[in-house]
Amino acid sequence: MTKLRVVSEKASESQEHEQEECRAVGQALDRIGDKWTVMVVGTLSKEPMRFNAIMRAIGGVSHRMLTLTLRGLERDGMVKRTAYPTIPPKVEYELTEMGRSLIKPLKALATWAQRNRPAMEAARARFDEPEERTPGVRRSSTAARVR
């Protein structure tokens, strides 16, 4: 095998590894970047809670969406569901160690969002305001689709 071929194969393996890592990051961000996931993690960061207590604390979430969010978090190992053999049945949800490790990054993201919200709103307003049009020239195809 020539040296060039070996280098080429290593580069290909490295590229495949990077693509796999990007997919993994994307899947994690799909879970933790969801609006309801952020709300559930924030709510459960205080203490274990029952379903209806979570629903009341969050407000605005449907029964189905909260169920799907809790199941997804449980499946991904971030929430532990404990069912107690009582009448009526009692079920509590709490963050696992991995779920608790998400609290600090989410707080940092919330701080960033609050700090940058005015600048983002100003940028949106500038972007959305009518511009002087040069005949035949468009801002971009993306801008045309967003409006």
Q: b/e string for 62-88 if b means 16 or more Cβ within 10 A?
A: eeeebeebbebbeebebbbeeeeeeee
Going by C-alpha positions, the residue among 87, 84, 83 that lies closest to residue 70 is: 83
Q: What is the pLDDT along the chain (147 residues), one digit of tens a residue?
A: 566 565 566 666 778 878 888 888 888 887 888 889 999 999 999 999 999 999 999 999 999 999 999 999 999 999 999 999 999 889 999 999 999 999 999 999 889 999 999 999 999 999 998 876 556 666 655 555 555
Counting beta carbons within 10 angstroms of the beta carbon of residue 95, is it exposed (0 to 12), middle (13 to 18) or buried (19 or more)? buried
- pLDDT, tens digit (0-9, with 9 covering 90-100), for 63-76: 999 999 999 999 99
The SS3 call for residue 91 is: strand
Region of residue 3 (left: phi > 0; alpha: psi -120 to 50; beta: else): alpha
Amino acid at 56: R
Q: What is the DSSP letter of 48?
A: -
Q: Look at residue 8 in the predicted model and tell me its pLDDT.
A: 62
